A and B are shown apart, each in its own frame.
Chain A
């Protein structure tokens, strides 16, 4: 009885199963935390299993849609709202990434949370619902609901289980995100009021009837909400605080999935609905992205805290994603799609590793370490691989994504394309500099002589559990680097469709988009 229901409501199941599981776990008393954690991991793994078994077998339907659920939900003030979920090339791998990262993160931070860990894991599952829902929602109001619903669990994860400045960081995270999304709501309601629907296709048609100025203004409102989430320079200031204060698990999910929703929002909604305005502002987006790449890298270099360094490297890497999208080419955007996955895997892994060393040393200051390689060889190996993938060494995942993005930007035909590509390449160099410098100071050289320092607390290498968490991530890093086509095949048609309306600038080679794959 359950199987047929699940086959016809696969996405509903994937989206809401974690929530139901989390809601049940919330009722567990504190002394049952271990059991609650176990059940949470089992629940998340079950969701992953269902996704792995079912999603890869889906045949591509009309317009590349793999799976569709569409039902009328309610009508208020004259605009119908639909319960419209779909899985297609744009969100397929992000959904897989999400269901994959959540159980892994839980396992990776099994012992990190000392108090009320069961509640934290329950909130995690609820967060998973918000993220998956936002990824598959096609109706804009539904998307908005999931988008906002993600905030609450994340707020509490940072606020309750975070570091010393957690209240400040959590409130800042909440207010920044809401500032963008509330103004976006006004734009959304305006467009929906004009279109009489929350469906992106209908809204896009309505948008073409609007004056160009209005379209541009609406695009800016849409872009603002998404850019805060990405976060694009200069709206990034919440990110380092949130990352530094959040517990490891929160950081992994924040970097791994939440940030992607911003760039995904551009691809899914902002650009297809306002293609003209998007082309008009592509230069501005590219400029901000390039600044984010270089600035993020420079600031990362100066950090004394490993986690903060990784947080600023996120700003830089997400700058690449936005640059790829701003190039408005299929190649660049495909690169952005890949880079989103890369960043999710690499930075997620980095945060996990930082969390592992923090659990042992109770410090994250670079200066407190030194010579860690001697004490923890296995950990060092993993950290080196992930560092190299974050830098973008060929054969690791980072390379493929950055290459496509730079390629797309260079050939985009926009006047700024080549300049932006040059500066972005500088960002790649800088990323090598800050990551390797940090690696050198933490892992190599003599041990920190101070007996109170971090190194002297590192008495055991990774446990089998931690190795089991890292292995799939490392495998993915190489797979994505060696055969990126696996991860690009689904999205190509979809990306092309999303960009169809955005006018290509004059001077772009005509055959370019179809030629390069």
Chain B
């Protein structure tokens, strides 16, 4: 009728989760959802089902090698990777949400709907080749996240966090919009590739540079890179654990991939140097500040928030190196980060640590109670610290290798020293889990609380932990099959 088959296949990865997101509120209209378990179960199944459908469809698209487009929306390898990535992250988050929301006593279908909308927004954000669509994606991914942060309304911090995120996010989005306006005003086009060529010139219009800086700020905000990181710890602490995990992984990935497209869209020549040095400054600041601030945290979620900031630094280093190999390294890094960070947050859900009970004191000695979960989460922590032979190491390895080959040895040394610092705070979790004894007061409190099985969150944690190890032992297949193809194809498509 109106849509050709190619156009339809370009937007189906968006339509499937969006359809699920629209249907979910209907299911949750039932006022009995808080009491009847099967309705809750059906809602979660629906969410998983639409995520699974989107995943399968995108995976088939990937396997067929097609890179369809719908107007300015290009479902190329980069966008397909982003879709697959987001679906996996969202599915893991949904599994953890089942247990976490039950522990909090606040199970609402709207949460899932918001999550799916946000996932849709992320894919739009990465698939956009045009400023308007890019902004649309940004808003579609952000606004549900503001609400998700404040999901558990019974907690007072939830409001505070949600409001904080909303206000800072709105400022960042308006900066992004202002930047887009400037870019459009100067260049007269909305197309990213044309704007990229314009920025690549030796002496672009200062107004366009200001626009580019504002847009870059928007990306860095979503990535939670210094100096746009201030919101991260508060918001991460306020949001439900699985939502935090989803935010830290998927939002960061969407921002990185979209930035990759923005930079890759022909920003080459003398102009690229300018953007690269801006990124380099941000990367080094992010690494230093994120890692040092994480040292001082007593709350695991805040520690993970600062760790998430520092990981933005490593990823930015990869973008600074800028070669296709480095981009493949970044994509590998993101994939590893997906599983290791999801695993780290999964521990909180699978141990049933709700509310504010997320300090290192709260997990003291818990490791011996659920050794399987604790060991896998510990592996995730070591992987975050970049200790081989776990997946996290290879991401760093690839990025550092390209940095060194490109001659940025000082930055590589900074990165290495930063990850040395990070070992100290990542070690605190295994120390608390295994090396410390549970205090008597905590033992008494445990006895009073009903025992929690947390099967779904546990399953998600096990999947993450096992994948962290498997990717560590066989990094070649992921690199060759996924990361390299994304990097190479994405660049060919643009240039």
Partner-B contacts on A (CB < 8 A): 26, 73-79, 81, 116, 144-145, 148-149, 151-152, 155-156, 159-160, 166-167, 170-171, 174-175, 178-179, 182-183, 185-186, 189-190, 192-193
Contact = CB atoms under 8 A, between A and B. Distances in A.
Interface in B310-336: 325-326, 328-329, 332
A144 B388 contact: yes
Contacts of A156: 430, 434
B68 to A, nearest CB: 30
A182 B398 contact: no
6 contacts: A149-B388, A178-B423, A185-B416, A186-B400, A189-B401, A193-B401
A261 to B, nearest CB: 15
B87 interface: no
A182 B416 contact: yes
Interface stretch (B153-161, B192-200, B257-265, B475-483): B475-483
A76 B476 contact: yes
Interface in B446-495: 474-477, 479-480
A178 B419 CA distance: 9
A167 B433 CA distance: 12
B476 A186 contact: no
B417 A189 contact: no
Given A74-B476, A75-B480, A148 B400 contact: no
Interface of B: 325-326, 328-329, 332, 368, 371, 375, 382, 387-389, 393-394, 397-398, 400-402, 404-405, 409, 412-413, 416-417, 419-420, 423-424, 427, 430-431, 434-436, 474-477, 479-480
B428 to A, nearest CB: 9
Given A76-B394, A152-B387, A183 B476 contact: no
A186 B388 contact: no
A78 B417 CA distance: 25
B435 A167 contact: yes
A358 B483 CA distance: 55
Contacts of B430: 156, 159
Contacts of A192: 401
Contacts of A76: 329, 332, 394, 397-398, 475-476, 479
A148 B397 CA distance: 14
B397 A189 contact: yes
A83 to B, nearest CB: 11
B434 A160 contact: yes
A384 to B, nearest CB: 37
Contacts of B409: 186, 190
Nearest to B431: A167
A123 to B, nearest CB: 11
Given A76-B398, A77-B328, A186-B404, 12 more contacts: A75-B480, A76-B479, A77-B325, A156-B434, A159-B434, A167-B431, A170-B435, A174-B427, A182-B417, A182-B419, A183-B416, A185-B400
Contacts of A159: 430-431, 434-435
A149 B393 CA distance: 11
B37 to A, nearest CB: 32
A139 to B, nearest CB: 13
Given A74-B474, A76-B394, A189 B435 contact: no
A151 B413 contact: no
A76 B474 CA distance: 11
